[in-house]
A and B are shown apart, each in its own frame.
Chain A
């Protein structure tokens, strides 16, 4: 029986916007295909994990105050995380976690929360506390040379700069900054994005893209994933793309 090992970072802290749903969707789509999903979690106070022993690392978004507490903890693992990324282990980073992997986060008061500095982008909050990028968002993404739409919800005050490879092109919504054309950050084995929803719940193609990458890397062979019954997902996508894209014209 095939298996995937997933490390879920700070599930008790980075869980503000239902991001845990991403883990549930991964588990669901793995188990439906008879693939064992091993999900370990790590949070403050737990024994140090070895990031290199996993196939997929996931982290979500949290409340500002709690996020600054965990930034200090995460930085202890910087070298191990860098090594895992170099080894091609897949990282899915949402919202707060996306920001934490950059150079720094400058908050509303101008205080700097240092990031892991794994990537060169950085994030700065807008001075006006009330101004946030909030709303439904649809982006165009290319996965394995196939263009598809990714649907989600963004809610962030931070504006992320210096992105070299965006995850997608914004059709509806803001993206990395207010009124941006680009959303998120994308490498062969990294997706960092502001999209909640949870992200994977409405984007089965994206979920399968991640699963396929992880399995191919782990078992070093071409993998063709067995198709699943996505009736609800397809109905949902059609309804929401129509609704969001038409309301923005």
Chain B
């Protein structure tokens, strides 16, 4: 009765929010969870539940999986707006259930914050868990990566569902061993691509074998610590791969899996990993490869994740980068583009960004290719300016502005191509400021 009442009240509140034109975010979930923290048990879910977690790429992968299922004619409920803590997912469920808690869908697909997997799936059934990567991210808020991985490992000890893992991240693929009884392990991987390196180029985590502490050997690094690794001592790293992307072609934005060519709207190695994970998941649910092919080609995100715009006749590419790896991936894309361009980097240090900005020193600004000018902004505009200057970039071509409005005006005072990198709380204000010039 209590749960019935909670749902009823949340439905009414949701109705009011809708009239007021508000989305609500975590609000309903937070209220309901505070009222009864066992409310997840009340939902009657008969369809598969799929979750995506990672440091980077959750939103992209989650939304692509949902989109592919929808294109295949399935009914999908998903937190596509990125509310990925237990209260955000609860909000999504509350909006989509009947008063008796029944969920009518073919698939539930959620992106879940790395720290919330054990909490959320204590009372909610989980059928497929996708883990993309673990990178250092807001150390002052999240703590060290290792403690996060150990929490997920603990949860997986009793988990028997599908586990879709990035074989090329030693901190992800190790999780296959959390429960030796679980036979539903599916590794995905991407063949060595054109810009893979012999030495690590960017800060990474996978240095030691998680099982025997030996230093890991890498054949090559794709980006950060993602690559072909093996432990010389206990041989960890020799996984049998479920889906592998081959013939990666960033110019054509295409790759092959099982001999089928896929085209996308995205041109980074990092997204090819995400899409290989997506293909792995939907193949587990027998989605036709023809449908996958067509849907992937159409799939895009318009929320500042590799978003392409034309502003004042300048091609503009906006990307979120809330940690070193995200920024390094953006700079890889910038450097793989031969055109002349300008960069805007917006760095905030609000609570949600992490107050410690020392992670910007883990961004590789060496050898910026054809970057004619750099504008910096955000509450730590000077910090990022110092960082870029110290890497050897000419400080006469760096223009810091604490004020975002001035920074964006300065950026569009010339007519070359623009790359925009913004961290978490900086992204939407930056996007808004840029769109206002349209």
Check if B208 sits within 8 Å of A24, measured CB to CB. no
A233 contacts the other chain (CB 8 A) = yes
A1-40 at interface with B (beta carbon < 8 Å): 12-13, 15-21, 24-25, 28
A239 contacts the other chain (CB 8 A) = yes
Check if B358 sits within 8 Å of A24, measured CB to CB. no
Distance to closest chain B CB from A96 (angstroms)? 12
Check if A24 sits within 8 Å of B402, measured CB to CB. no
B340-367 at interface with A (beta carbon < 8 Å): 355-362
Give bound CA distance, A12 to B216, whole Å: 12
Check if A236 sits within 8 Å of B386, measured CB to CB. yes
Chain A, residue nearest B379 (CB): A243
Check if B390 sits within 8 Å of A25, measured CB to CB. yes
Check if B361 sits within 8 Å of A21, measured CB to CB. yes
Stretch among A63-71, A112-120, A212-220 lining the B interface: A63-71
B297 contacts the other chain (CB 8 A) = no
Check if A232 sits within 8 Å of B395, measured CB to CB. yes
A102 contacts the other chain (CB 8 A) = no
Contacts A232-B389, A232-B395; A69 near B358 (Cβ below 8 A): no
Instruction: Determine the chain B residues whose CB is within 8 A of the CB of A44 once the complex forms.
Output: 215
Give bound CA distance, A233 to B386, whole Å: 7
Give bound CA distance, A235 to B399, whole Å: 12
B382 contacts the other chain (CB 8 A) = yes
Instruction: Determine the chain B residues whose CB is within 8 A of the CB of A155 once the complex forms.
Output: 139-140, 356
B385 contacts the other chain (CB 8 A) = yes
Give bound CA distance, A25 to B391, whole Å: 9
Most B CB within 10 A of own CB, among A16, A28, A155, A232:
A232
Chain B, residue nearest A230 (CB): B386
A45 contacts the other chain (CB 8 A) = yes
Instruction: Determine the chain B residues whose CB is within 8 A of the CB of A235 once the complex forms.
Output: 382, 400
Instruction: Determine the chain A residues whose CB is within 8 A of the CB of B207 once the complex forms.
Output: 12-13, 66
Chain B, residue nearest A153 (CB): B356
Q: Mark B125-165, 1 if CB is under 8 A from A, else 0.
A: 00000000000100110001110000000000000000000
Instruction: Determine the chain B residues whose CB is within 8 A of the CB of A197 once the complex forms.
Output: 358
Q: Mark A40-80, 1 if CB is under 8 A from B, else 0.
A: 00001100000000000000000111100100000000000
B383 contacts the other chain (CB 8 A) = yes
Number of contacting residues on A, CB 8 A? 36
Distance to closest chain A CB from B150 (angstroms)? 10
Q: Mark B192-226, 1 if CB is under 8 A from A, else 0.
A: 00000000000100011000010100000000000
Check if A21 sits within 8 Å of B146, measured CB to CB. no
A177 contacts the other chain (CB 8 A) = no
Q: A153 contacts which of B215, B358, B402 (Cβ < 8 Å)?
A: B358
Check if A153 sits within 8 Å of B355, measured CB to CB. yes
B265 contacts the other chain (CB 8 A) = no
Give bound CA distance, A25 to B386, whole Å: 9
Instruction: Determine the chain A residues whose CB is within 8 A of the CB of B390 once the complex forms.
Output: 21, 24-25, 28, 201
Check if A64 sits within 8 Å of B358, measured CB to CB. no
B282-334 at interface with A (beta carbon < 8 Å): none
Give bound CA distance, A66 to B215, whole Å: 11
Contacts A16-B139, A134-B140; A202 near B361 (Cβ below 8 A): no
Check if A17 sits within 8 Å of B382, measured CB to CB. no
Check if B140 sits within 8 Å of A18, measured CB to CB. no
Instruction: Determine the chain B residues whose CB is within 8 A of the CB of A21 once the complex forms.
Output: 358, 361, 387, 390
Give bound CA distance, A212 to B31, whole Å: 60
Check if B382 sits within 8 Å of A232, measured CB to CB. yes
Give bound CA distance, A69 to B203, whole Å: 19
Give bound CA distance, A210 to B389, whole Å: 21
Instruction: Determine the chain B residues whose CB is within 8 A of the CB of A20 once the complex forms.
Output: 361-362
Give bound CA distance, A231 to B383, whole Å: 12
B370-404 at interface with A (beta carbon < 8 Å): 382-383, 385-387, 389-392, 395, 398, 400, 402
Q: B386 contacts which of A16, A69, A201 (Cβ < 8 Å)?
A: A201
Q: Mark A73-116, 1 if CB is under 8 A from B, else 0.
A: 00000000000000000000000000000000000000000000
Give bound CA distance, A15 to B361, whole Å: 10
Check if B383 sits within 8 Å of A236, measured CB to CB. yes
Instruction: Determine the chain B residues whose CB is within 8 A of the CB of A169 once the complex forms.
Output: none
Give bound CA distance, A232 to B359, whole Å: 19
Instruction: Determine the chain A residues whose CB is within 8 A of the CB of B355 once the complex forms.
Output: 135-136, 153
A158 contacts the other chain (CB 8 A) = no
Q: A196 contacts which of B358, B382, B385, B387 (Cβ < 8 Å)?
A: B358
Check if B400 sits within 8 Å of A17, measured CB to CB. no
Instruction: Determine the chain A residues whose CB is within 8 A of the CB of B389 once the complex forms.
Output: 28, 232
Contacts A16-B139, A202-B386; A66 near B361 (Cβ below 8 A): no
Instruction: Determine the chain A residues whose CB is within 8 A of the CB of B215 once the complex forms.
Output: 44-45
Check if B144 sits within 8 Å of A239, measured CB to CB. no
Instruction: Determine the chain B residues whose CB is within 8 A of the CB of A15 once the complex forms.
Output: 203, 362
A226 contacts the other chain (CB 8 A) = no
Check if B360 sits within 8 Å of A18, measured CB to CB. yes
A198 contacts the other chain (CB 8 A) = yes
Check if A69 sits within 8 Å of B361, measured CB to CB. no
Check if B213 sits within 8 Å of A69, measured CB to CB. yes
Check if B356 sits within 8 Å of A232, measured CB to CB. no
A144 contacts the other chain (CB 8 A) = no
Q: Which residues of A contact B (CB under 8 A)?
A: 12-13, 15-21, 24-25, 28, 44-45, 63-66, 69, 134-136, 153, 155, 196-198, 201-202, 229, 231-233, 235-236, 239
Name 4 extra pairs, CB < 8 A, besides A24-B390, A233-B382: A16-B136, A17-B359, A201-B361, A201-B383
Q: Which residues of B contact A (CB under 8 A)?
A: 136, 139-140, 144-146, 203, 207-208, 213, 215, 355-362, 382-383, 385-387, 389-392, 395, 398, 400, 402
8 A-B pairs within 8 Å (CB atoms) are namely A18-B360, A24-B361, A155-B140, A196-B358, A232-B382, A232-B389, A235-B400, A236-B382
